[in-house]
Structure 1
């Protein structure tokens, strides 16, 4: 396996690609959507319907992408994905009709399965050995700046160029920055594979009951978390505007990134020995707590800031847990495919989120919509509490059945 210096270089390279990947493929959408709707002469709900269908397509391909990462190496998969991401964003930039834009968004989500966290986590599991869980935490620490950079950046770009040109610029970033880094990471993976094999001692939690049922619970929990997160993040800036925050909504939303980074720093400093099952429950609690705070306090700016910080803390921890929880319980064997199945469930339910919340905001208003999301968050807390109940740390390696 790679030495500490090389591992640090690999994490930084991955961090840059994740910032650009999430920023261009995910976070920019909510800023661009209103202008796209006006330009294409459709209701903004239709544009959010496009992303819903696209998320569903991305979810369906996730298990295959994860299995491919297990077979040929995550570095190669991410390199292919960088080319696909650039092409998909270019298709969005060329779109002159709603059908063409829908096709572009479907391509965006299909390529996301190859370049974002699931594949990056698989890469770290393949190359960093016993340091995989800690490496995942470091990666999420760096990538947490994606929203902080790309929400304001996309807003600023729209003052000088239109959304077509923004997509072309984002396509260029994936091709000029992410592709070379992913190609270098592929070489790093080959060097790591040629090195001496570490003797890995895994301290896994004991799964009480059926391991496959626990995995189903994990998929359900991440699916609920993905629904709440996607609904909130895709609509955050316009929703804060509807709640009376006005132009302050953009900079309040930009606090999510620093909060995500802060949560990872806190976890690295004080929670490094905390079991992933407990961390999952803690991160799940943060979401309904934050949403309830926003619903009760709006249009208070202080309340919105508290929401952004708490929600950012929760989503920041979830980014860690999405990689460390299945790794801690089931180990490295078939890790990429497991993450793919989790991604399928998460994206499948998240596919409903943008359109559903867009409809709800118009039908029942922002506050009632927030309480519905908080209810889904509480259900997520219950699911992960059950996973925690069924898993207890033991001092020996636990074998679990493979998900096929």
Structure 2
């Protein structure tokens, strides 16, 4: 019972750091970008170009960060990452030119590789044993409030201070809240490592032929999902404005967080026995459905609400799948590094997304741009359907041999 309570405390601590991490390092950007562009006297596309380069840098460093988490412990890596995140946000706050802002936002994404989901999932795999997949679901349930909190909060803060001051405030949050929690989690990990090894049976891994090809497909699927997600999330509020939603865009976008949380609650209640491969396909299907709904219904507020809810449901499930799918197929050995490679592919393709959609919105308008994203979403569905087919075929062969 004590172990259960301590594990719950670790998950809650991680949940708080993920809310602050995603809120300050990721979700706030789309709210701050237009004001930054005006203040630095550049086109907003240039600002989105900065985040594209930054995401690429974060992707390139992800396998290394994952390997460090495997070797040194994810808790230690997140503690160092908190300091890096605070420093990076402070650099953004000090930026007085486009080059200085570019340097700061690249540092932000480099720090993100050490403090966000990939490293947090590795921490849970290292500390919660056979309950790792369930713990990942609980964590994503808590962290799903990041966008709900930080989109409106950032918009509210802009009414009282400028973007420089907001970045300094966010730096302080990472230093004052996330760093102490990550240091405590490092101590928690050391205590767990000193416990007797659990005798509980380890869940059987999925057996697949040509595991390397399956892993490549998984990386490709998450990369396509990351492209669609990054493009949509970074542009959600301004894109809803272009479609005629006006000021309603902010509160419509804020529905994303509750939908993410709802999808995780539904999965916890009814999807306990659903294979991770099936959950990946279901998650992927929501993206083209949501984007198609928005394109066909705009400027209807009810259509926009449906889009935000469906996209949020899929996004919430994807957060779970990104941790549970590779864990279910390949196990805990080298889990952090596998997540790092997935992160490199996802962030590498996501790096193109903010800039590409920014250009597309200006060149062809919001509706055709949504069609382009929906097409990428359909490709993602096809890739994860192939992963599911290969795992299912291998499982059937195993049953026949037995």
Mark yes or no: TM-score above 0.5.
yes
Is the 1:221–1:384 contact (alpha carbons within 8 Å) kept by the matching residues of 2?
Answer: yes
Q: Look up the match of 1:30.
A: 30
Q: Look up the match of 2:232.
A: 232
Unaligned 5+ runs, structure 1: 398-404
Alignment of 1:43-122 (within 5 A): 43-122=43-122
Q: Look up the match of 1:204.
A: 205
Any idea what the Cα deviations from partners look like across 1:134-177, whole Å, max 9, x if unmatched?
00000000000000000000000000000000000000000000
C-alpha displacement of 1:202:
2.3
C-alpha displacement of 1:89:
0.1
For 1:69 and 1:119, the matched residues in 2 are separated by: 7
For 1:44 and 1:177, the matched residues in 2 are separated by: 32
Provide the secondary structure at the position in 2 that maps to 1:205.
coil
For 1:277 and 1:109, the matched residues in 2 are separated by: 29
Any idea what the Cα deviations from partners look like across 1:287-325, whole Å, max 9, x if unmatched?
000000000000000000000000000000000000000
Any idea what the Cα deviations from partners look like across 1:66-97, whole Å, max 9, x if unmatched?
00000000000000000000000000000000
For 1:357 and 1:88, the matched residues in 2 are separated by: 25
Any idea what the Cα deviations from partners look like across 1:183-223, whole Å, max 9, x if unmatched?
0000000000000112342222121x310000000000000
For 1:355 and 1:73, the matched residues in 2 are separated by: 35
Alignment of 1:4-403 (within 5 A): 4-199=4-199, 200-207=201-208, 209-392=209-392
Provide the secondary structure at the position in 2 that maps to 1:3.
helix
Q: How many residues align?
A: 397
For 2:72 and 2:254, the matched residues in 1 are separated by: 37
Any idea what the Cα deviations from partners look like across 1:94-150, whole Å, max 9, x if unmatched?
000000000000000000000000000000000000000000000000000000000
For 1:116 and 1:273, the matched residues in 2 are separated by: 27
Q: Look up the match of 1:402.
A: none
Provide the secondary structure at the position in 1 that maps to 2:207.
strand
For 1:139 and 1:43, the matched residues in 2 are separated by: 38
For 1:245 and 1:295, the matched residues in 2 are separated by: 13
For 1:267 and 1:97, the matched residues in 2 are separated by: 46
For 1:157 and 1:296, the matched residues in 2 are separated by: 33
C-alpha displacement of 1:395:
11
Any idea what the Cα deviations from partners look like across 1:50-79, whole Å, max 9, x if unmatched?
000000000000000000000000000000
Is the 1:204–1:396 contact (alpha carbons within 8 Å) kept by the matching residues of 2?
Answer: no
Greater shift, 276-285 or 197-206, is seen at: 197-206
Is the 1:203–1:396 contact (alpha carbons within 8 Å) kept by the matching residues of 2?
Answer: no
Q: Structure 1 187/210 Cα, relative in aligned 2: closer, same or farther at 3 Å?
A: same
For 2:248 and 2:24, the matched residues in 1 are separated by: 23
Is the 1:70–1:334 contact (alpha carbons within 8 Å) kept by the matching residues of 2?
Answer: yes
For 1:202 and 1:304, the matched residues in 2 are separated by: 41
RMSD: 1.5
Provide the secondary structure at the position in 2 that maps to 1:204.
coil
TM-score, normalising length: structure 2: 0.97
For 1:252 and 1:355, the matched residues in 2 are separated by: 23
Q: Structure 1 395/179 Cα, relative in aligned 2: closer, same or farther at 3 Å?
A: farther
TM-score, normalising length: structure 1: 0.97
